[in-house]
Amino acid sequence: MRFELYTEERDERPVYITGNFNNWNPKDSNYQLTASSSENYFIEIDDSLLPSTIEYKFTKGGWENVELDQYGNITPNRKAEKTSGKTSDIVEKWRLNWGPFKKEFFPIVEIISEEFYIPQLDRYRKVWALLPYDYYTSEKKYPVLYLQDAQNLFNEGSDYGNWEIDKKLSLLAEYGRGDLIIIAIEHGSKDRIKEYIFDNDHIANGSEGKKYIRFITDTLKPYIDTHFRTKKDRENTGIGGSSLGALISIYSGFLYPEVYSKLLIFSPSLWIEPNNNFPMMSFRNPFKMKIYLYGGEQEGSKMVKRIHLFEEYLKRWEKKNLFDFEFRTSINPEGTHSEFYWSQEFPRAIEWLFYNNSENPVEVKPTQTSIKK
């Protein structure tokens, strides 16, 4: 069958077709279209590879770069019968790193405190809440995700850029996945390394990770649950971060599985725990935990190897009945240790962690994954 495409936006990026014939892989080299001009593309697909009724979309190599209509809206899946032999389609716009983003879906950003007191460390920290865009016009209760390194999550002017989670939350809301509160905790600047390392004085003299975890779990979470409409149970509570922020989130989940059931782990600093000697609680009935692991192949020769080794340890711990894990690992061949790539991955992680069991899942899927269970 022949698929022909005319695109109204000139764009140098290659075009791919994806659908119910390739497991909706948005960057499958076997399904890259050939350019016959700067606006016209085509691909011939063997009929034996196609179902009778074909559902498909065009992408520029990822769900963050999928086709849109002329108004920037998400398009429904295209459909064709294999017996037709040929299709001719038009794409009017393309997403670019998940954009454009619609202002009406942006979260409500509130500063909880410029100086939230941390009794465990006897210091103060700035904390934000990102609330669903319709928080004050609804009576719903929401799951909560606690994220580290707030300076690099959504604020302009960060030294390293930011994840743009406010924009990404607007995208998720547009897909009907906006029912989530994010609590963003500013890192401690000069104290960041000490606070994000659990108990390793060889790396950080006077490491304070134990106290920091207790702050989030024993002090901050009760405050959030009192002042916002949250779903307080573990099934609706997650924690996460990147680099050292990811490392301290692993500790948090393993030590307090009765509090956290979802871990968002981006480019974790596993070099600090090369043997994965994480302290953890052992329960007669192991807690089920979802873990989203992400790493980039350009982050250094050992990043991906350590992530895969960590996967193996997850399986070992499960066999010992310490936990009941469900995890997804996403490896980006182009990814570096940077906010830009964590920003790209954020919607995929939120989708899988909080909405994976939805009857109508959103199409924000990783390009390369291994899934346990």
Domains of the chain: 2-94 (2.60.40.10), 103-371 (3.40.50.1820)
CA dihedral 312, 315, 320, 326 (to 10 degrees): 150
217 secondary structure, DSSP code: I
Predicted confidence at residue 360, as pLDDT, reads 38
Predicted confidence at residue 73, as pLDDT, reads 87
Q: What are phi and psi of 208, to 5 degrees?
A: -125, 20
Predicted confidence at residue 353, as pLDDT, reads 96
H or E element that contains 318: helix 303-319
User: Shortest CA distance to 340 belongs to which of 294, 293, 290, 292?
Assistant: 294
CB 14 within 8 A of CB 30: no
User: Shortest CA distance to 338 belongs to which of 101, 164, 216, 103?
Assistant: 164
The pair of structure tokens assigned to 359 is 């009857």
Residue 99 DSSP SS3? strand
H or E element that contains 331: strand 323-332
Number of separate helices (H) and strands (E) present in the chain: 7, 18
User: Shortest CA distance to 258 belongs to which of 233, 240, 277?
Assistant: 233
User: Shortest CA distance to 146 belongs to which of 247, 249, 287, 288?
Assistant: 249
Predicted confidence at residue 11, as pLDDT, reads 81
Predicted confidence at residue 205, as pLDDT, reads 63
User: Shortest CA distance to 304 belongs to which of 352, 250, 239, 370?
Assistant: 370
| Residues with pLDDT less than 50, the chain | 358-362, 364-373
Give the span between the Cα atoms of 252 and 246, in whole angstroms.
Answer: 10
Tokens 């990770």 sit on residue: 209
Predicted confidence at residue 299, as pLDDT, reads 96
> In this structure, is the dihedral angle defined by the CA atoms of residues 334, 339, 343 and 346, taken in order, positive or negative?
positive
Give the span between the Cα atoms of 11 and 38, in whole angstroms.
Answer: 8
Give the span between the Cα atoms of 280 and 285, in whole angstroms.
Answer: 14
Give the span between the Cα atoms of 58 and 38, in whole angstroms.
Answer: 16
Predicted confidence at residue 156, as pLDDT, reads 66
**Could you give the angle at which helices 339-355 and 165-174 cross, rounded to 10 degrees?**
40
Tokens 């304070």 sit on residue: 208
| Helix (H), strand (E), coil (C) string for 51-87 | CCEEEEEEECCCHHHEEECCCCCECCCEEEEHHHCEE
Residue 98 backbone zone (phi > 0: left; psi -120 to 50: alpha; other: beta): left
Count of CB atoms within 10 A of residue 80's CB?
18
